[in-house]
Amino acid sequence: MSKSSKNHVVRTAGLLERYHVTRVALGLDTCVLVSARYVSTADSSSKLTPSILYPALRKLIETEGALCVRIEYSPSPFRKPKFIRLPTINLDKAVEFKATSGSLQEELEHQTSYGFDFRSTEKPLWRLTVLPDNTVIFAYHHAIGDGMSGRAFHISLLQALQTMPLSDTKETDALVEVPIQINMTPPVEKCTKVTLSVKSLLGVLSGSRPSGDTPWTALPVTASIPTTKRFRNYVRLISITPSEATSLLALSKQHKSTLTGTLFALSVHSLSQVLAQGANPKYNSVLVSIPMSLRPLTGIPENRMCDQASAHTILAHLPPPSTPLPNDAFWAEATKASDTLRTQRQNSLKIIANLRFAPLVGGFTGYFKSQLGKPRGSGLSLVNVGAWPRSPSPQDSLKPNWEVAEAAFTQEDTVTGDPVKICVMGGGDGSLTIAVNWGESSAESALMEAFIGKLEENARCLAALKA
């Protein structure tokens, strides 16, 4: 580390952050993406221009440390990555305004194909792409934020925009001076107790599954890390209207389920249907990983960025594919999953604690390389970052300048991670976007396209019912 770098060290990366830093450095991950479409309440034709957006971004940079750093990384397992303060950020290089663009689905898929150069001493670990319809795509390194952090960014950006005048002055300064003192949220292990019992460790090391189960886990992990060309990542979006989303929430509540529990049961049933149609082995179950935020345990507010998430994996038995939806067994599965997740947040900390034992397998690099060529630990991942927070209804004279309509969330990490990710996010207009992504090396595309078609069909059929 150079002498000048030492003067700008913000802090050392924590356990989960080091995990994500290494995964990206090895070429096994690119970024996390959260998009939101901004609508002017005063003039629906108003565009987000540099003179409107840059002052709002300046406010965020001055208060959110995660936006002000780069990473100093060494492949040595004995040198922990560090977050280094950037002296300045040039917004003209971090933000791209597109005059024309493809669909949001195409843009998100493209964005997942490239990440961030951790060797750069000038660029931050995030970028923005502004589409012609005022959709802002926030892409960021997983070490500075989990899925909830993209939502946090847009919450803060909207708050900043609401204090800015709508007039376009055509004058703006793209260079932002980063404050000398910046604060990043602490890592998980500094916010709450992270311990691992011997019993839990032995269970992790054994990697055992219940006997008699043949779970679907998609394609095995590739035998080697791609070095010359990345595997392609695919993104498909299912747009649920506000009325459909309201119906799904009401039905879930009526059956004592959460929306996550209902989408869990829908995903398992949809997978069962498509597996029965193809020339697949007779799988009888699927392992579903369900990430969950640790903020309720660590006290980090919803408008701050942090890398604080864990997961709980559920072994779900595949229902008979011909069973019509919904039925008592479907709602029992949804309710059971919801009840399980309510009690597992504290227990999921053991996954973070497991990371303390990375040196036993050659550090995080050794851990990821040990997964190559092996079956995956899950088949599906279902992550719900939640509904857009409701704002109190303002008086007409106090109505904000900007609002958020649809929002979406997706990420890459399909080389060694969960092969199929179902990412759910609510928009400010009450809509719901389900983003399904998979990698070229993680799942068969024909099977995935059929799965997404069934998932959308089943979700809309369920939403058409009255609670």
Lowest-confidence segment of 31-40, 265-274, 360-369 by average pLDDT: 360-369
Q: Are strands 285-293 and 215-216 parallel, antiparallel or unpaired?
A: parallel
Given a cut of 70, whether residue 200 has pLDDT beyond it is no
Q: Is the peptide bond before 326 cis (omega within 30 degrees of 0)?
A: yes
Residue 74: which of 8, 18, 32 has the closest Cα?
A: 18
Pick the residue with more confidence: 29 or 466?
29
Determine contact, residues 146/63, Cβ cutoff 8 Å. Answer: no
Given a cut of 90, whether residue 204 has pLDDT beyond it is no
First to last CA, the chain: 61
pLDDT tier, 393 (very low <50, low <70, confident <90, very high otherwise): low
Average pLDDT over residues 20-31: 95
pLDDT at 275: 94
Given a cut of 50, whether residue 4 has pLDDT beyond it is no
Determine contact, residues 334/327, Cβ cutoff 8 Å. Answer: no
Pick the residue with more confidence: 255 or 206?
255
Domain with CATH 3.30.559.30 in the chain: 195-463
Secondary structure string (H, E, C) spanning 442-455: CCCHHHHHHHHHHH
Q: Are strands 95-97 and 126-130 parallel, antiparallel or unpaired?
A: parallel
Distance between CA atoms of 215 and 204, rounded to whole angstroms? 18
195-463 has which CATH code? 3.30.559.30
Average pLDDT over residues 77-81: 89
List of residues 6+ apart from 462 with CB closer than 8 A? 247, 248, 251, 262, 266, 325, 326
Lowest-confidence segment of 159-173, 239-253, 368-382 by average pLDDT: 159-173
Query: Which token pair is 269?
Result: 């049933």
Distance between CA atoms of 335 and 329, rounded to whole angstroms? 10
pLDDT tens, 44-59? 888 999 999 999 999 9
Is 3-185 in CATH node 2.40.50.1070?
no
User: Quick one: what percent of the chain has pLDDT higher than 90?
Assistant: 79
List beta partners, residue 310: 292
Give kind and range of the element (H or E) at residue 342: helix 328-344
Domain with CATH 3.30.559.10 in the chain: 3-185
Give kind and range of the element (H or E) at residue 382: strand 380-384
pLDDT at 73: 94
Indicate the average pLDDT of the chain: 91
b/e map 298-336, b = 16+ CB within 10 Å: bebeebbbbbbbbbbbbebebbeeeeebbeeebbebbbb
Given a cut of 70, whether residue 366 has pLDDT beyond it is yes
Lowest-confidence segment of 144-148, 196-200, 374-378, 447-451 by average pLDDT: 196-200
Give the angle subtended at the CA of 275 by the CAs of 269 and 277, to the nearest 5°: 110
pLDDT at 3: 46
Count Cβ atoms below 10 Å from residue 395 Cβ, excluding itself.
6
Given a cut of 60, whether residue 187 has pLDDT beyond it is yes
Given a cut of 50, whether residue 2 has pLDDT beyond it is no
Given a cut of 50, whether residue 411 has pLDDT beyond it is yes
Given a cut of 90, whether residue 128 has pLDDT beyond it is yes
Pick the residue with more confidence: 245 or 393?
245
Rg of the chain on CA atoms, in Å? 22
Q: Which amino acid is at 18?
A: R
pLDDT at 119: 83
Determine contact, residues 403/428, Cβ cutoff 8 Å. Answer: yes
Q: Provide the 3-class DSSP secondary structure of residue 431.
A: coil
pLDDT at 1: 44
Q: Are strands 309-317 and 285-293 parallel, antiparallel or unpaired?
A: antiparallel
Q: Provide the 3-class DSSP secondary structure of residue 368.
A: helix
pLDDT tier, 29 (very low <50, low <70, confident <90, very high otherwise): very high
Residue 344: which of 266, 306, 288, 302 has the closest Cα?
A: 288
pLDDT at 421: 98
List of residues 6+ apart from 57 with CB closer than 8 A? 91, 95, 128, 157, 160, 176
Given a cut of 90, whether residue 199 has pLDDT beyond it is no
Lowest-confidence segment of 368-382, 384-398, 410-424 by average pLDDT: 384-398
pLDDT at 369: 94
pLDDT tier, 462 (very low <50, low <70, confident <90, very high otherwise): very high
